[in-house]
Every structure is written in structure tokens, then in C-alpha cells.
Amino acid sequence: MIDRSIAPEIHPLLSVPLKEPILETLKNGIPMFVFPNDDLDLIHLQLDIRSGAIHEPKKHLSLFTYGLLKGSHPKYHAAEMADLLDFYGSTFDVDVYLDSVCLKIVIPKRNIPPMLPIVFEMLSAPKYREDYLSLIRQQRIQSLRNNLKKNNFLCSRLMLQAMLGDQCAAGQPATEESYHAITISDLERYHQENFCAENLSLYVTGHLDSETTKIIRETFQTICHGVRTPEPVLFQMPFDQNPLLNVEVPGSIQSSICLAMPHLAYADEARSPFKVLSTITGGYFGSRLMQRVRERHGYTYGISNSTAYFGHQSIFSIQSDVDATHTQEAIDACFEELERLQQEPVPEEELQTVKTYMTGSLIQELSNSVSYMSKYAFWRNQHTDLSILQEMLRIIQDTQPEDLKKMAKIYFDHNNFTQIIVGNKL
């Protein structure tokens, strides 16, 4: 009989037996990555477009060009398209990132023949309508007005301004004027220039028999050729050299704080070991920053760090909403924890907890063919491939306390960070 009072032995996970997707290059050159899953009757298609805020010649073009697609079918208006998607048990979603746009289509296998051509016509030959643009524009403006009352929104956009400035549309703040500046001709031109075979990658998973695959192949290989969007330049970061940006919002109960710095590309060999360090710092609920700023001092309900990757660069940031009367103390506590990581080796027990957490989180991200497909697409967009998975697992297990100290001294220097505070005036 198993004694359930005794925990089983824990062994480090050193590899994950994932299969490479089946790669097929369509007649127009679009790479199609197929992730077969005979148990999944919902066919998931992900179309990644080389677009996004850092590629835009004008603010909001990606957001409106692709965000308006549901209401821009050449034959059906927004309500009619919504009814068709609902009738065929399908969904269509758009995610706009700094360096890409992701179109996600889910259609039951049996409904691929009638529904995929309808969706494809919407994607490839949209008819942008002035009334729908006006409606979405007003929604965006109202959302902007509401968000401008939130310190954390102001802090996040000030961070992008500080890091990127006017080098690209992502660094330019959204305004009511910038929304009004978008026209139908802008959207038509951007779609025509941007939606071409050279800018697209297709990812598919589900029960893909020969007939279903044939329909998908024959549909997407009709996309026309065009000019590939060039690689983004390396931006000067931070664009604003001021180390402290402090905006006062009278009457604020909380201050939103952000410590931001330019950082590594995802494919950089130092990124994986830094991920271990950043997880210890503020990457999970038991992190150093959570223990110090929340648990010990009670300055906040939550604090975390994250990295936004784009092109061959990224922005690393620590963000939190803190008690306004303790704004400076919260910032000081953050820097003290960063300095402690530079001076003291991480205890073995804490490091092992983080290694276990990171390994589990990584495996959870790959728990089914849909999440694996999404992760694979992200890796490819960041100029890596499946081999990075084994590398990450190896580095997680191999990282030692002294490695973390050395890395903290390089990256967690006080002078690397731009401090952004919205709320209390220091």
C-alpha cells in the first residue's frame, strides 16, 4: 500500500518530448505549420502578420485595420457577421502586439467548408465602412477618457514614451486627435500594403484530415504577393534620458510606479538565465518584491516584473500601485531588493522553489496542441525555434546562486532604470 504521508521523490525535468510541427510552404510562399491533434474537432487557425505598433507609419493603423475586420466583410455588416460566426459555432479574435498582429480563428471541423471562405473573404478583401469606423473610434475615445483617469494607465504609457519616444508609433501617446486622424483610406492602404504573403505565417491545429487540410491550403495560398515589411531598427532606449519622470495627480490615494530599462532580445543567450533572476525578483507570488513590498511593509496589494519583447530588443519593467503616502519608501524597497540580489547569493531552497515553479509553468504553457502552437508561433516571431525549450529547461536546472549574483550586478544597477511615478509628487 502507498504511504500517502510520504511525498514522492522529485526529479528535475530535463527534456520535453515535443514533436516539430509539419511544415508546408504554400504556393504563394506562406509557411503553414500544422500541429495534428485527432482528438480536437475544433480547428484552430492562427495567422500571424508582420505588423504592430513599431511598424506603423501612423498611430493606430494596426489596431483599426485588423480590429475592424469583423464589421468590414464585403457582403455582411458587423451584426450579420456576428450571427454567422455564432451560427457556425466559430470565433474570430484579434491581438495587436508591438511587433505583430495575431488573427485567431476557431471553426468546428464540419463547418470548415461553409465558414472558412466567409472568414477569408473578410480577411483578404475587407470593405471598411465609415459608420463602423466612427462607432469604434468613439468607443476608443471614450475608453481613452476613462483610462486617462487611471494612474496605472498613465504610468504605462509614460513608460513607452520614455523608452521609445517618437522613434515609432508605439512611443507616441494615444490622443483623441490621433484617433480622429484615422481615415478609411488609411485602413485600405495599410491593409493592401501589409496583408501579403511575404508578411504572413499560418499555424493550424486540430483533427486535420486530407480534405480539411486541402481546403485550408487552397484558401490561404490565394493571398497575393507584396513587399515584406522590413526588420525594425534598433531603437535608442531610453529615448528620454531623464532618470525620473514624476507626474502629480492631486488627491491620489495610490501612486503607480514603474522602474523600466532597455533589455535583451528573446533570442539572446543571456535571456534564459536572466529569466530565472527576474522570476526570483518579481515573477511569481512568492517573489522577493512581493515578500518585501507587500508582505513586510504592506505598501501594495501586488507587485511584479515583466518583459515586453519586440524586434531584437525588449523592455524590462517592475510595476505596482502603492500607497501614495509611501511612494518613496516603496521605490527604495525595490532598489534595496535589487541591490541585495547583487550582494548576497540566493539561498538554495529559494532557488530550488523557483526552478520547480518555472519548470511547471513552462510545461503548463505546452499542455495541449493549441497552447503549444501559440508558443511555437511566439518563438518563431522572436527568431528562435523548438530547440529553445530544451535550452531553457537546462539553464533553469543549471543556474547557480553565483550566476544570479553576477547577472544582478550587470542588469540591476540603479543607473539602468528610468523611474516613472504617477500620483504622489516626490
**244 by DSSP, 3-state: which?**
strand
Whether this model's pTM surpasses 0.75: yes
In the numeric block, the cell 465602412 is attached to 129
**CA dist., res. 162 & res. 271, Å (int):** 23
What's the pLDDT score for residue 426?
85
What's the pLDDT score for residue 17?
80
Element (H, E) at 315: strand 313-323
Domain ranges of the chain: 22-220, 244-423
Q: Strands, E, within 207-253: which ranges?
A: 244-248
Give every CB contact of residue 17 below 8 A, 6+ residues apart in sequence.
Answer: none
DSSP string over 328-379: HHHHHHHHHHHHHHHHSPPPHHHHHHHHHHHHHHHHHTTSSHHHHHHHHHHH
| CA-to-CA separations, 17 to 149, 357, 389, in angstroms, rounded | 48, 20, 10
Q: What's the CATH class of domain 244-423?
A: alpha beta
**CA dist., res. 405 & res. 262, Å (int):** 20
Written in H, E and C, the secondary structure of 158-176 is HHHHHHHHHHCHHHCCCCH
Contact of 257 with 327, CB cutoff 8 Å: yes
**CA dist., res. 187 & res. 182, Å (int):** 8
What's the pLDDT score for residue 241?
94
Q: Is 272 exposed, middle or buried (0-12, 13-18, 19+ CB in 10 A)?
A: buried
Cis-peptide, bond into residue 238, ω within 30° of zero: yes
What's the pLDDT score for residue 154?
98
Same fold, 22-220 and 244-423: yes
What's the pLDDT score for residue 73?
98
In the numeric block, the cell 510545461 is attached to 363
According to DSSP, the β-strands at 31-36 and 200-206 are parallel
Would you give per-residue pLDDT tens digits along the chain (426 residues)? 677 888 777 666 666 788 999 999 999 999 999 999 999 999 999 999 999 999 999 999 999 999 999 999 999 999 999 999 999 999 999 999 999 999 999 999 999 999 999 999 999 999 999 999 999 999 999 999 999 999 999 999 999 999 999 999 999 999 999 999 999 999 999 999 999 999 999 999 999 999 999 999 999 999 999 999 998 889 999 999 999 999 999 999 999 999 999 999 999 999 999 999 999 999 999 999 999 999 999 999 999 999 999 999 999 999 999 999 999 999 999 999 999 999 999 999 999 999 999 999 999 999 999 999 999 999 999 999 999 999 999 999 999 999 999 999 999 999 999 999 999 998
What's the pLDDT score for residue 13?
67
What's the pLDDT score for residue 396?
94
- What is the CATH T-level fold of the domain 22-220, as seen in this structure? Cytochrome Bc1 Complex; Chain A, domain 1 (3.30.830)
What's the pLDDT score for residue 5?
82
What's the pLDDT score for residue 11?
67
